[in-house]
Structure 1
Amino acid sequence: MENPGSANDTLLHQVQRLNWTLNVISRSNSVLVHAQDEWSLYKGVCESITSAEGFPLAWVGIPRLDEQKSIEVFASAGSATAYLDGIVVSWGTSSEGNGPSGRAIRTGEIQFNNNMLLSPQFLPWVERAKKHNLQSSFALPITLSSGEIVAALMVYSEFPDAFGDAELKLLGQLSADLGYGVESLRTRAAYEQALIENQQRAQEVVTLLENSVELLAYTVEIRDPYTAGHEKRVSALSVAIAKAMGLDEERIRGLRLAATVHDIGKIQVPAEILVKPGPLSDIEKRLVKEHPTVGYNILKQIDYPWPVAEAVWQHHERLDGSGYPRGLLGNEIILEARIIAVADIVESMFSHRPYRPALGLDAAFAEVQRLSPVQLDQNVVQACLDVFKSEVFQLS
């Protein structure tokens, strides 16, 4: 007849093992939720396991594709981590590959060893285990949905017979959870890497677009030496105005490009008209007034992420509809074009022209104030005046 005390002890031991297993699964799932990468996942699980009394070591091994088919200790925790110093473990068919971690990776099955010190398969590591009082262990394969085994979780106990068949089913769920966690982390990492690569490609495209704008601006300037630098100065002033108005950096970037080529359409105007020292005839004026439309037709073919072409088309429009080439009114004119319009007037009056000497900043300020708010945006004009009053910008 079985000793009742012995039966009770056995039942208590089984309950304790199940309770430990359930706690491990619960804590590991919490780690799964918060882990930022595979190492923090594995490290967190190892720490959760070894926080319980009697489990001095847990580690995760990664199979490598070297000639020895070695297993690399990737993460570990516990009071007996010195057990791993200089350890040689494999997932091949050598004696170093016949241990629980190697078989778990090779077969994809959970490996139990409830008395490691007497197991022939554990012979290469027996002395280590004795030194650190490790009596039993299990190895849990970590498998992705594709069937790829990416790691093995090794857990050691100070007691023999620390694990049983009931725990096997529960640990199978932990194995699946860890596989899901690794897969989720890899998917997220791949997504984040794709975002970085897309941003890099976008930056490369933007750089090419900016270079194309510089080239277009240079094309205009070499045809019209009297306005050499005009577009760059208008661009610099436009950016200063936009910053004073609190526009975001990305919008300012597009504004800078548009201002840099706002006169690109003048490549269609005969050079002798551009450098003519006297008044223009009506026909010549009509030709010059076509340059916003010509510029728009050139730039609309380039897929800028900003309204570059539209700003160039509108930079001679006025709020009261008196501008050209379309006679737009009020809010039909985008803010970028309103800013360029003010910067263009100020720079043009400040600088020398073939048909007149430079008029200076005071005259330019008086002119934009006279045209505000009927023709020019009064907020843009005020921002322009503030830029110069602050003495942080010089038109040169």
Structure 2
Amino acid sequence: MAEQLDIDFLLQRDRHAEALLELSRRIEGANTERDAFDAGFDILRANTGYQHYWVFILDEDNRHAHYYMGSTGPESDPSTATLTISGDPMLEEIVTSRDIVLVEDARTDPRTNKEIVARVGNRTIINVPIVLNASNLGAVGTGTFGDEGVRLPSSAEQDFLKAVASQLAISLDRIHNRNEWQRAEKELQAGEARNRSLILAMAEGVVFQNADGVITSANPAAERTLGLNAGTLLGQTSMVPLPVLTSDGRSMAEDRLPWNVTRNTGLTQTSVTLGTKKPDGSTVWLSVNTSPVEAGESAPYAVVTTFRDVTGQREMQQQLRMLQVALDGVSDCAFMMEDDRIVQVNQGACRSLGYSKDELIGMSVFDFDPVLTPEHLQHLITTTSDKPAIAFESTHRARDGRVFPVEVEVSPFTYDGRHLAMALTRDISERRKNEESLRRLNRTLLTLSSGNEALIRAGSEMELLHRMCHILVEVGGHRAVWIELTKGPDDKELIPSASATADESLRLDPKRVPRGNALAEALSSGEPKLIVDIYFDALEADVRADLLKAGCRSGLVLPLIASRGLIGVLSIFAENADAFDKAELDLLKELADDLAYGIQAQRIHAEQRESVTRLRRTMESTIVALANTLELRDPYTAGHQRRVATLAKAVALRLGFDEERAEAIYLAGMIHDIGKIYVPSEVLTRPGKLTPLEYSLVQTHVEAAYGILHPIDFPWPLADIVYQHHERLDGSGYPRGIRGEDIVLDSRILAVADVVEAMSTHRPYRPGLGIDAALAEIVAGKERLFDPAVVDNCVALFREDGFNFG
């Protein structure tokens, strides 16, 4: 039995060896990866017990695997897919393993995706890595499905699978290398074709010479430039007739011709200017470049020469030299430019910028213009292309670092295909200085105007001080401002009161205000004092540091003097040294005088407002006393007026009344029944129904109240509000029966509040009916008796806002 097994093993090994030899022959002729895969699948199917085969090939980043499954018979088609490796345990193991990966039963193996297994029907899965030069290219696999059951390959089958995978790796590498070589060959051929087309299309002349110096080819541009045809050039050892001229007009030795230098030395020659005669007798100037085609170990070398016609440029250079005399005669700066580079300047530009002519020529305008940018220049050229000249203002920086403003006028022109421009610039420092003085004067006038407006509109002394500081910074353009006020008429100690800075991030401590000679002199003399330069003024070191950090370089201290004497100082600080001229100083002194007047006026107004406040509080106390007096006579209605007043004020505020007017309604409510002081108390407290005579007597309380209140000079129309609070919209009220809009709105509010409070609380002749009955009553009388808006807001107070009488 063992002997038979050995014979079977040897026979199987021979079959496998023949199969591998057959596979080698088939994949040798494979043109594509798929051809190689199909050959491998055929060999495996014929020599193993498995019917299904596939291949995984990794992409370059090892993130995806390209899956290819061979056909299982003549009627089935191969299938392909691209699979993501990350997150798939089986794929991750397959593409990283160097040994065969076996799954005996896919239904139970934890590495498999059970959803895919259920759908596809995998049972046994075998994957063999395809490895080349220690790199995993992918895997070749096989296995069983569905009813085929579970079957692991024998060791001989595993060895056979590995051998097939090894041959596939070699085949894939060979196919890849062949494809790369074919691609490179095509690219080389395409590159050579492009180079030939490029040389033929070039505007520059191109000539090739072999190592013997014989011209082997020339492009059409070379023929045009030299005035020769290819038949004349080919076979010659020089592309131009002798003698050849150097750039300065001398004869050039034959061994110094650039192509001969390169042929003899292998050294590249660039931008060599030479002149020669064309067949028609005219002189053509060339700019020549040469380089060796192949640098061997020793001369001579083959040479490629390129050249272009620069005859027009040389003629222009001659004309430019002729123009130089004219340019030097111009008093302004004159620059001739090509693109942004200077090709010629006059002596005026040299004097202005401090450079020699040789230094300026070749410089870019951006080298001495710190403001102009290539984008800005291009924008100017584009937007003014239809104009003969471009005018704008910019800044120049001289060699010594001095920066000054200039007025620029650029006139573009084209000469012999070259785009040139003539720029004339003029130093406008003096004009800018005059403009700045005018601008500062206008700014100060505007500051003075804004300050005067603040004097009118400020509601308090502190508001005036803060607004004035911000006006001086925001409108006046100053860096920092302080206002310090004295403690009192007899105490001249200064207290920081307001300040502002242009940069909020550099906020200065108001307690560390500037001290020094200027402040002392201003206080003692009563005259403005200048701090010309903070660097040199006698200030405390920490204060100087704060000011300089805030960007301040000069200052002005202005005493604030009112009719009562010195009341403070105004300190203004500017960004530049010596920033305050006489005109601005005079206007700021006027502003300081106005500010002093405004401070004094605000203090007088504050005193007056305090007097008015005290008088108003006295009146309010009087009104409360009157209300309390009435309630002492009528204990049953005690608190009625106060509750009516509270409700009336709440309705007024809900209607949008300001606090002042709402307070007036409150005070009217507090004394709306003051006239009842003339009604006998037994009538007011009668528990039963009043007789007509008694009711008429009660109605007189409105007119009695008017008689009491009208002679008193209240700041509010209390007499009229109380007089009309029993009137109704339809004219059914009393005492005058007026109707609609003739009843003041304040009285209409008081009327509703009076009814609601009276019905909802206890009276001598009946118990309280409650708030619901009271609100129903005013809603029933809405538009006929009571103002609709007043009724709606009164109801909303109770229903929505939760108002109650407490």
Query: Under TM normalisation by the shorter chain, which class is it?
Result: 0.5 to 0.7
CA contact (8 A) 2:478 2:572 kept: no
* Match in the other structure for 2:772: 362
CA contact (8 A) 1:140 1:154 kept: yes
* Match in the other structure for 1:5: none
Measure how far apart 1:374 and its partner are.
1.5
Output the CA distance in 2 between the equivalents of 1:359 and 1:154: 71
Structure 1 length normalisation: TM-score? Answer: 0.64
Which is higher, the Rg of structure 1 or of structure 2?
A: 2
* Match in the other structure for 1:317: 727
Report 1:294-305 matches (<5 A): 294-305=704-715
* Match in the other structure for 2:591: 181
Deviation track 1:321-379 (CA, whole Å, cap 9, x = no partner) reads 11111111111111111111111111111111111122222322232223222122222
* Matched letter for residue 199 of structure 1: R
Measure how far apart 1:313 and its partner are.
0.6
Deviation track 1:61-118 (CA, whole Å, cap 9, x = no partner) reads 999xxxxx9999999x9xxxxxxx9987599xxxxxxxxx85996597999x9xxx9x
Output the CA distance in 2 between the equivalents of 1:313 and 1:195: 34
CA contact (8 A) 2:528 2:558 kept: no
* Match in the other structure for 2:678: 268
Are residues 21 and 292 of structure 1, via their aligned partners in 2, closer, same or farther at CA, if it must alter by over 3 Å?
A: same
Output the CA distance in 2 between the equivalents of 1:388 and 1:236: 13
Instruction: Give the structure with the higher percent strand.
Output: 2
CA contact (8 A) 1:105 1:141 kept: no
CA contact (8 A) 2:528 2:589 kept: no
CA contact (8 A) 2:561 2:596 kept: no
CA contact (8 A) 1:24 1:49 kept: no
Deviation track 1:195-251 (CA, whole Å, cap 9, x = no partner) reads 433433333332222212111110110100000011111111212222332222222
Q: Does 1:343 align with 2:757?
A: no
Are residues 222 and 90 of structure 1, via their aligned partners in 2, closer, same or farther at CA, if it must alter by over 3 Å?
A: same
CA contact (8 A) 2:522 2:558 kept: no
Aligned mate of 1:250, from 660, 664, 678: 660
Deviation track 1:293-315 (CA, whole Å, cap 9, x = no partner) reads 11111112222232211111111
CA contact (8 A) 2:724 2:747 kept: yes
* Match in the other structure for 1:293: 703
Output the CA distance in 2 between the equivalents of 1:247 and 1:267: 31
Measure how far apart 1:151 and its partner are.
7.7
* Match in the other structure for 1:390: 800
Structure 1 range deviating more: 249-258 or 192-201:
192-201
* Matched letter for residue 305 of structure 1: P
Structure 1 range deviating more: 359-368 or 306-315:
359-368
Output the CA distance in 1 between the equivalents of 2:674 and 2:765: 21
Aligned mate of 1:259, from 669, 678, 686: 669
Measure how far apart 1:40 and its partner are.
4.5
Output the CA distance in 1 between the equivalents of 2:558 and 2:668: 55
* Match in the other structure for 1:11: none
Structure 2 length normalisation: TM-score? Answer: 0.34
Output the CA distance in 1 between the equivalents of 2:721 and 2:514: 68
Output the CA distance in 1 between the equivalents of 2:684 and 2:610: 41
Are residues 393 and 367 of structure 1, via their aligned partners in 2, closer, same or farther at CA, if it must alter by over 3 Å?
A: same
Output the CA distance in 2 between the equivalents of 1:72 and 1:307: 44
SS in 1 for 2:721: helix
* Match in the other structure for 1:226: 636
Output the CA distance in 1 between the equivalents of 2:802 and 2:713: 34
CA contact (8 A) 2:562 2:596 kept: no
Aligned mate of 2:645, from 235, 245, 252: 235
Q: Does 1:206 align with 2:206?
A: no
Output the CA distance in 2 between the equivalents of 1:201 and 1:86: 38
Are residues 181 and 296 of structure 1, via their aligned partners in 2, closer, same or farther at CA, if it must alter by over 3 Å?
A: same
Aligned mate of 2:736, from 326, 347, 353: 326
* Matched letter for residue 240 of structure 1: A
Output the CA distance in 2 between the equivalents of 1:315 and 1:368: 14
CA contact (8 A) 2:522 2:559 kept: no
* Match in the other structure for 1:371: 781
Output the CA distance in 2 between the equivalents of 1:88 and 1:342: 69
Are residues 142 and 261 of structure 1, via their aligned partners in 2, closer, same or farther at CA, if it must alter by over 3 Å?
A: closer
* Match in the other structure for 1:120: none
Structure 1 range deviating more: 239-248 or 294-303:
239-248
Q: Which has the higher contact order (CA 8 A, sep 6+)?
A: 1
Structure 1 range deviating more: 379-388 or 255-264:
379-388
* Matched letter for residue 374 of structure 1: R
Are residues 105 and 234 of structure 1, via their aligned partners in 2, closer, same or farther at CA, if it must alter by over 3 Å?
A: closer
SS in 2 for 1:357: coil
Q: Which runs of 5+ in 1 are unaligned?
A: 1-14, 52-58, 64-68, 78-84, 92-100, 118-124, 129-137, 156-161, 164-169
| Count of residue pairs brought into register by the alignment | 334
Output the CA distance in 2 between the equivalents of 1:86 and 1:301: 58
Instruction: Give the structure with the higher percent helix.
Output: 1
Are residues 108 and 336 of structure 1, via their aligned partners in 2, closer, same or farther at CA, if it must alter by over 3 Å?
A: closer
CA contact (8 A) 1:105 1:152 kept: no
Measure how far apart 1:34 and its partner are.
5.9
Q: Does 1:284 align with 2:691?
A: no
* Matched letter for residue 340 of structure 1: L
Output the CA distance in 2 between the equivalents of 1:361 and 1:72: 58
Measure how far apart 1:289 and its partner are.
0.6
SS in 2 for 1:315: coil
Output the CA distance in 2 between the equivalents of 1:239 and 1:86: 52
Measure how far apart 1:272 and its partner are.
1.2
Measure how far apart 1:177 and its partner are.
2.2
Are residues 70 and 22 of structure 1, via their aligned partners in 2, closer, same or farther at CA, if it must alter by over 3 Å?
A: farther
CA contact (8 A) 2:675 2:705 kept: yes
Output the CA distance in 2 between the equivalents of 1:386 and 1:152: 54
Output the CA distance in 2 between the equivalents of 1:226 and 1:340: 20
CA contact (8 A) 1:21 1:171 kept: no
Structure 1 range deviating more: 328-337 or 195-204:
195-204
Are residues 338 and 30 of structure 1, via their aligned partners in 2, closer, same or farther at CA, if it must alter by over 3 Å?
A: closer
CA contact (8 A) 1:266 1:291 kept: yes
Are residues 19 and 61 of structure 1, via their aligned partners in 2, closer, same or farther at CA, if it must alter by over 3 Å?
A: farther
* Match in the other structure for 2:271: none
Are residues 360 and 180 of structure 1, via their aligned partners in 2, closer, same or farther at CA, if it must alter by over 3 Å?
A: same
* Matched letter for residue 800 of structure 2: S
Measure how far apart 1:23 and its partner are.
7.5
How well do the aligned residues superpose, as a CA RMSD in angstroms? 5.3
